[in-house]
Amino acid sequence: MSFLATYGAALPEIVISLGAMALLMVGAFQKETVWNAESIGWLSVFVLVAAAFVLAGQNGGTASLFDGAFVADAFALFAKMLILGGSGAALVMSFGFLNRAGALKFELPVLVLMATVGMMMLVSAADFIALYLGLELMSLSLYVMAAFRRDDVRSSEAGLKYFVLGALSSGMLLYGASLIYGFTGSTSFSVVAGVAKGETAANLGLIVGLVFLLVGLAFKVSAVPFHMWTPDVYEGAPTPVTAFFAAAPKIAAMAVLVRVVSTAFPGLGPQWQQIIVFLSIASMLLGSFAAIGQTNIKRLMAYSSIANIGFAMVGLAGGGEQSVSSVLVYLAIYIVMSLGAFACILMMRRDGGPVEDIDELAGLNKTNLGMAAAFAALLFSLAGIPPLAGFFAKLAVFKAAIDAGLNGLAVVGVLASVVGAYYYLRIIKVMFFDAPKERFLPADWGAGFIMVLSAAFVLLYAVFGTWIEGPAGAAAKSLYG
């Protein structure tokens, strides 16, 4: 059999892996200059685009490799497209910022590529060993990226905190997977699903293993009460790295959480549903209330991401095709809103360097109306104001919860959304009604392009939303087919 016939399902991952290794060698053996680093950055974007084309060329059926440990289906295809888009957009936004800060090194885009390979392997994992390998490949790259500015105390602190807490979460996940293996005799999701039903599903050891597994994944998505690393890492890491953290890794972690509970533990639905409901309520409430008092916009976005993970879990709690479809729609809209918001944050700079306080946006409509309008559209969307994209995202997950009989969870979600709207509207008030401050310096074209594209998406979603909802439904169906 030919190579493509045998390993075609993993071809996008192979393309990125080979590209990352080739660019690493090029960077290591050439002079360390800004031009060379930026060239490798753009070549990394090209590698991601090439992988996306290869992925789009897959026929959409289901294929598996390595004795079923790696699966390529419509669900994986949808999640991988989001991951590739998030990684590419984060790279495009980063070049100007890192160049001015003297931190544009060739290693960063290579780390992004390696983290992306880990994420793509993660969402295709159908075995706990494959899941752990993908998770660690992603996490090890992210630890280095968080502390990428070695001469900056905040960045080093962020990297250390992320590493220590990330290692703890990986240990919990590995312990949970070992317990599940001990009680089922397999690490394969399909075999575990066959064993974890009926009387076996009531086995206390199996339930404890599931709890530890979900705790480890909850760390990765920064769900409350396992969120403690998020605000410090978001604030301390370089802003382009924070933008990357808020997008692609969140998609990968949520996608693997969906796959695990849907395909490995359908027989333990009542047990994992209780955990997901608790994580959802806690994340929505803490994310909404804790953000109110924030003055640093990156910390505010950290709490916003925690709340958004809670909203996504509202959809997941119901289980079934409709619930999974609603989660995928929510994640697709969230990644665009998050990248657009961070593009605006990257444009907040004056002669003294980047600024991060919300008050620095005062009177932005008088000094940069275009940026103020785009940021306002993204914030209104994050708040869930109709007819913007964020409204349809929340409507999808709330409807899925109600259809599953989780009316109370949907009510808590609506109330948390109302509270969360306050801090988004407060930023809009500062931009449009406060006395103007000094004008920001001209924006980099990369950040400006992502900002305009994201704002256009949230404004026009009502027109072309079916382009996302259709594939999301097909992706959800592939998990239950």
How many C-beta neighbours within 10 Å does residue 376 have? 20
Indicate whether 480 pLDDT > 60. yes
How many C-beta neighbours within 10 Å does residue 466 have? 9
Among 32, 246, 31, CA closest to 142: 246
What totals of helices (H) and strands (E) does the chain contain, helices first?
Answer: 21, 4
Q: What is the pLDDT of residue 103?
A: 66
Between 276 and 31, where is the model more confident? 276
121 pLDDT tier (thresholds 50, 70, 90):
very high
With residues binned 3-state (H G I as helix, E B as strand, rest as coil), the percentages for the chain, rounded to 5, are 80, 5, 20
Q: What is the pLDDT of residue 206?
A: 85
Structure tokens at 475: 């992706």
Q: What is the pLDDT of residue 204?
A: 79
Q: Which helix (H) or strand (E) holds 70?
A: strand 70-72
Q: What is the pLDDT of residue 4?
A: 65
Structure tokens at 41: 């950055």
Indicate whether 238 pLDDT > 70. yes
What letter would DSSP give residue 262? I
Indicate whether 357 pLDDT > 70. yes
Among 331, 332, 317, CA closest to 278: 317
What letter would DSSP give residue 439? P
Q: Residues 447-477: pLDDT tens digits? A: 889 999 999 999 999 888 788 888 898 888 8
**Measured between alpha carbons, how far is 218 from 255 in angstroms, rounded to an integer?**
12
Provide the b/e sequence for 169-191 (b: ≥16 CB within 10 Å). bbebbbbbbebbbebbeebbbee
Q: What is the pLDDT of residue 5?
A: 62
Diameter of the chain by CA atoms? 69
Q: What is the pLDDT of residue 259?
A: 92
Q: Residues 390-409: pLDDT tens digits? A: 999 999 999 999 998 889 99
Q: Residues 41-96: pLDDT tens digits? A: 889 999 999 999 999 887 667 788 888 888 888 899 999 999 999 999 999 988 87
Q: What is the pLDDT of residue 83?
A: 94
- Parse the chain into domains and list their residue ranges: 3-480
% of the chain beyond a pLDDT of 90 = 41
3-class DSSP assignment, residue 125: strand
**Measured between alpha carbons, how far is 142 from 191 in angstroms, rounded to an integer?**
32
* pLDDT mean across residues, the chain: 87
**Measured between alpha carbons, how far is 459 from 441 in angstroms, rounded to an integer?**
26
Q: What is the pLDDT of residue 233?
A: 86
Q: Which residues pair with 188 in a beta bridge?
A: 127
Cβ atoms of 377 and 455 within 8 Å: the answer is yes
Within 57-184, residue ranges assigned H as helices are 74-100, 107-124, 128-146, 153-184
Cβ atoms of 224 and 286 within 8 Å: the answer is yes
Q: Residues 5-52: pLDDT tens digits? A: 667 788 899 999 999 999 988 888 876 665 577 888 889 999 999 999
3-class DSSP assignment, residue 151: coil
Least confident of 150-164, 357-371, 407-421, 453-467: 150-164
| Bond preceding residue 231 cis, omega within 30 of 0 | no
% of the chain beyond a pLDDT of 70 = 95
Residues ≥6 apart with Cβ < 8 Å to 6: none
Q: Is the dihedral of CA 349, 353, 354, 355 positive or negative?
A: negative
